Amino acid sequence: MPSVNTYARGIAFFLFKRWNHHLKLKFFVKVEDTRNVTKIDLHLGQRGHNGPVIATLFRASGTGISVDRGFVKGVMKKGDLQGPIRGLSLRFLLREIKNHNVYVNVHTTEHPKGEIRGQIKKFKRHHS
């Protein structure tokens, strides 16, 4: 899990919602100042530790995409989970996120193990 020098940055938002009695996860990932993005994955692992891929949010066809500012959005369901949590519920994923045990990893051709990585944490709303 060596860090890399990059100007790239990103932010991700996740929202668990129930539709027709099924839990789904809406996601929005924004990346800036990066080249040749090949994949954006969720990994199971605590801060400072590498972990297995548990869901793919984006996969480029071909050599990747370059963005000054770009975003990926979508909806994930139980069947999209992979690796050690394949077949488990999104409720399990939610619990792992609450335990700070899931991170986003943006892979590029220059940094195939990941150029941008960020632990998912709960967003705290400030009421005025």
Percentage of the chain beyond pLDDT 90 is 62
Read off the pLDDT of residues 85-126 as tens digits, 9 standing for 90 and up. Answer: 999 999 999 999 999 999 999 999 999 999 999 999 877 666
What DSSP string describes 36-98?
EEEEEEEEE--TTS---EEEEEEE-SSS-EEEEEEEEEEEE-GGG--GGGTTS-HHHHHHHHH
Q: Mean pLDDT across the stretch 72-95? A: 94
pTM for this predicted structure:
0.87
Give the model's pLDDT for residue 60: 86
d(CA 18, CA 20): 7
Report how far Cα 33 is from the mean position of its chain's Cα atoms.
18
